[in-house]
Structure 1
């Protein structure tokens, strides 16, 4: 009598960790890959998140965890938004219902979640530098039994930092690093530039070995191209790379959104990121313009009137609102790949050539081009306009994507002028004023999401918009920065009901500090500034310094985001936790007046 051997279960529910993958057959792995894809589509559609990149690396992630022993072997990912499958295989499948939610599973690697997450990598082109450093550490400490594996997309290879790392990795053949090139021909959108063309030639060649290899020329061993959806071929290539005990590039060709028909039909971004599915029976979403769409339309119109305006972005043409401009003026639009440093200095060159560049990036990504902004743009007084989308608290993408650092850095840049619009009209106005500046750099920043209802000025004083004025006494000046105007107006009403005279002013151009704003501050007993950026070195700090220098007797109450890495969550919740609410502003204003213990009841209006 023959006894049958029980095959290991393939379901996600039966997986305790990556070690359980080793016993599975090829057919079982294929079944598991299909289940993972169905799981991803279901869960990510509910919570929102990066879908396409993760659908494209299912087989690759399975192969990596079968060949290498994580966390003993170090698996590093660039960028980290393609690690959902890695999270599933390392015991976190049950946490996906809270993906990108407050106190839930991060959309990127998170060291506090798992020992399998070694770096918290959400900005591209960095992983090879991490790998180089780890390989050097292993060599210095005599560690020879642990692999360093770096997964990097072809889009991330358009960033200069990746090539700085490759330059070092290639020079040390005795330090093994397995570089897994996840080549899907895209970053957010199709990958651009000479590197993309070279990889495309290798993908298309009947005999890839006959195509001269960039990596071979650097002295790196290059394996592939390998079908990134063939688990057996992937495992063979990865085991071969590990056995060489030297730096190796394994060229894996994958398809973003693979196995999900809507993603494969969507050539624009292959479902790169999807929004959360509305709850059943919920109220229909109100259709309102986003900040990005207002900027997009206005820039395209400006381009019609100004032939000298050109636009640049770093692999994010659509997300930063350059699609309409690119459609009308393709020859005046430049996508430089994931290369913010290059984008900024290239913009300086365009400006020196007589054009007015508009560089559109997420606020958090301009950090990467700060030296170029300072020394290549500002030092030359080059007329470059930076448009910073996702400024302030952005929420569910977590600490690396909150655009809260720009206003802390900007005061260091001589001659830079910074605008923070409060609504659609002031965004259009600020953009027009910015591109009219021909002797210095400018920046216009706005948050993620929909534009609020218009906030009209009741008066204008030397270019400053007065949004509210009540009471005969000049008690409190509320300086409202950008989109926090509605919150400041609500706080002003609370102050008015306590019989406190209050003025709300929106400078619109917040850096450098306008002399008229200093005069206005000196004319009030207390000043409170409110901004959705870090408190250190921001607009409020600049105003406080200016008023101190002018002889103000009371310190400015600077309200903003705490200067720390903020956990993921909704923007409104982050603002509330930071005290950026009407009640929070009321409390700080009373403190500024020396009335922190004031219990005077608020006078209610009729009908309240």
Structure 2
């Protein structure tokens, strides 16, 4: 590619020096560059391929970074990164110490707003536009690019509602491809479909009704048309809305044909698009699949069981139940707040709702968990996938805050299964009826047990497990951190092992107080290990217990430090947080030596 157009683009000013008739060739090169890198390095493919022409047109027409461009979520920002000075390091995308897979303000002046969660772009861009007005900057333009799945979320509608009564210079671009990660759902999706199929239909235009100028729908892959339309809108004052029709995965046939799989396909052949299969034979199951299969099995026994997910049926494996019991499993779109309160309404009416939300996305529905579920003590079953460190998606997606932000809520049971069998059994236990809501958190990826489809056993609420007994140091873990500790213990000598106990707390609420009294009475030191933030998490709970009961035993907290952990594979991130097996073994050996 030494003579390529792309190699001449080090920032958007270089792009703007090209004649318009060369931009389509540049689009082809940019699309191929993304495909070649993601094929081996992995990442979010389909969304970025779908906005190649739009990305070029935006940076060509607008004076970025002075004109401010906000990408919603950021899955589609790969082309943007490549054109804004990160071409030569794009192969580090999502790797440890490499560039982020999402827009990130500290990474580039062209990343005006960090976006890893959806539906924030309009609010952020409107805030920027209003600030420009107040600062007397009249010639700056502000652009938010949002997808048809993201715009259905409540926050986006709140922003549109405000935009319609503002005079801000804001352009909202709807990237309408009828899919987020899974296909878009809901009445708004149906409305947009009608607009696409019948652009001259007489139905009321929602955007115009909100007092926002509307243009479209137009072909988002027609570069000359995009350039013409953006140039026209650039000269106008006030809020505008441009509706584009694009194809997710554009330019790679396999990605166009299977848009769900090629959202983030893993490794694939860059020329054919054919996936390079992972050899999973004999491997333990993924936690999410154990959830999906188990809740479907339980639904077969009990017709009061329902399940809800906010736009993640494939990612949570709830699609298994949706295929088997479509009348009792629901994808509500990118609407975490609605998902939680919908589940609360079902629980109030005697159903048994499993509300499956990624840990990082439950943050978006915190008030609903408190006000609509816990305050009313409604037995919603929260299944928090991707808890703990998730890897390459980085700081926006790590599920490391849930233990801390949930344990302060009254009435809420909190459980973290050590393995997939415990996940299966707690789902069964919850399905039999609990007096309170419960949050079940489990990690991304595979467990360690292959034979997991065993007869159900009821788990006693508030009961921990004693995994081994020693006489000097008590290690207390929660969830799958038990395995990090077990691996660390394998590094000790036989004599060192005799000094170490290992307790699996299992329940953060209610605490197994009987077990904790044993921990503090029978040991000279306590080490807590969790894959959540240290401040406010499980270790903090044990310190509070010790203070309440007058124990003077030293407690050493191991977990996520008071900083945002960036991207890398999970083992690398465990090492950075010093909760990997080698770090824990070293900690134990040093403490034992002091004793």
TM-score (norm 1): 0.90
Alignment of 1:433-444 (within 5 A): 433-444=429-440
Q: For 1:205, which of 191, 194, 198 is the aligned residue? A: 198
Alignment of 1:294-443 (within 5 A): 294-443=290-439
In 2, the alpha carbon distance for the partners of 1:334 and 1:376 equals 19
1:122 is displaced (CA, Å) by 0.7
Contact 1:299 1:325 in 2 (8 A): yes
Contact 1:363 1:390 in 2 (8 A): yes
1:567 is displaced (CA, Å) by 1.3
Match of 2:455 in 1: none
Alignment of 1:520-531 (within 5 A): 520-525=518-523, 526-531=525-530
Q: For 1:139, which of 126, 133, 144 is the aligned residue? A: 133
Q: For 2:221, which of 223, 226, 229 is the aligned residue? A: 229
Q: For 1:483, which of 480, 490, 510 is the aligned residue? A: 480
1:585 is displaced (CA, Å) by 3.0
In 2, the alpha carbon distance for the partners of 1:86 and 1:111 equals 13
In 2, the alpha carbon distance for the partners of 1:436 and 1:23 equals 67
In 2, the alpha carbon distance for the partners of 1:440 and 1:24 equals 63
Is 1:102 aligned to residue 100 of structure 2?
Answer: no
1:367 is displaced (CA, Å) by 0.6
Moved more, 116-125 or 505-514: 505-514
Match of 1:605 in 2: none
Contact 1:10 1:28 in 2 (8 A): no
In 1, the alpha carbon distance for the partners of 2:461 and 2:322 equals 38
1:128 is displaced (CA, Å) by 0.9
In 1, the alpha carbon distance for the partners of 2:280 and 2:295 equals 27
Contact 1:557 1:589 in 2 (8 A): no
In 2, the alpha carbon distance for the partners of 1:417 and 1:58 equals 46
Is 1:156 aligned to residue 147 of structure 2?
Answer: no
In 2, the alpha carbon distance for the partners of 1:414 and 1:574 equals 32
Deviation digits for residues 418-460 of structure 1 (CA, Å, limit 9, x no counterpart):
111111211111211223343211011111111124799xxx9
TM-score (norm 2): 0.92
- Judging changes above 3 Å, is the alpha-carbon distance between structure 1 residues 381 and 211 closer, same or farther for their aligned structure 2 residues? same
Match of 2:189 in 1: 196
Moved more, 580-589 or 59-68: 580-589
Deviation digits for residues 457-477 of structure 1 (CA, Å, limit 9, x no counterpart):
xxx99943222224xxx3222
- Judging changes above 3 Å, is the alpha-carbon distance between structure 1 residues 499 and 306 closer, same or farther for their aligned structure 2 residues? closer
In 1, the alpha carbon distance for the partners of 2:294 and 2:579 equals 30
Match of 1:6 in 2: none
Match of 1:550 in 2: 549
1:13 is paired with a residue whose SS is helix
In 1, the alpha carbon distance for the partners of 2:461 and 2:501 equals 12
In 2, the alpha carbon distance for the partners of 1:169 and 1:583 equals 53
- Judging changes above 3 Å, is the alpha-carbon distance between structure 1 residues 309 and 462 closer, same or farther for their aligned structure 2 residues? closer
Contact 2:390 2:444 in 1 (8 A): yes
In 1, the alpha carbon distance for the partners of 2:191 and 2:582 equals 58
In 2, the alpha carbon distance for the partners of 1:241 and 1:572 equals 48
- Judging changes above 3 Å, is the alpha-carbon distance between structure 1 residues 381 and 24 closer, same or farther for their aligned structure 2 residues? same
1:159 is displaced (CA, Å) by 1.1
Match of 2:456 in 1: none
Contact 1:480 1:531 in 2 (8 A): yes
Is 1:517 aligned to residue 515 of structure 2?
Answer: yes
Moved more, 376-385 or 416-425: 416-425
Match of 2:10 in 1: 16
Contact 1:264 1:270 in 2 (8 A): no
Deviation digits for residues 243-285 of structure 1 (CA, Å, limit 9, x no counterpart):
2211000011111111110011115x16111214599x99966
1:141 is displaced (CA, Å) by 0.7
In 1, the alpha carbon distance for the partners of 2:57 and 2:435 equals 55
In 2, the alpha carbon distance for the partners of 1:88 and 1:317 equals 31
Q: For 2:48, which of 41, 46, 54 is the aligned residue? A: 54
Match of 2:176 in 1: 183
Alignment of 1:271-310 (within 5 A): 271-276=262-267, 287-310=283-306
Q: How many residues align?
A: 578
In 2, the alpha carbon distance for the partners of 1:509 and 1:22 equals 58
Match of 2:23 in 1: 29
Report the RMSD for the aligned CA atoms in angstroms. 2.4
Match of 1:465 in 2: 465
Q: Which has the larger radius of gyration?
A: 1
Contact 1:587 1:596 in 2 (8 A): no
- Judging changes above 3 Å, is the alpha-carbon distance between structure 1 residues 447 and 203 closer, same or farther for their aligned structure 2 residues? same
Contact 1:106 1:398 in 2 (8 A): yes
Contact 2:75 2:102 in 1 (8 A): yes
Deviation digits for residues 316-373 of structure 1 (CA, Å, limit 9, x no counterpart):
1110110111111111111111111111111111111111111111111101111110
- Judging changes above 3 Å, is the alpha-carbon distance between structure 1 residues 425 and 283 closer, same or farther for their aligned structure 2 residues? closer
Q: For 1:251, which of 222, 243, 246 is the aligned residue? A: 243
In 1, the alpha carbon distance for the partners of 2:462 and 2:533 equals 27
In 1, the alpha carbon distance for the partners of 2:323 and 2:564 equals 37
Structure 2 unaligned spans of 5+:
271-275, 453-459
Contact 1:374 1:413 in 2 (8 A): yes
Structure 1 unaligned spans of 5+:
1-8, 599-608
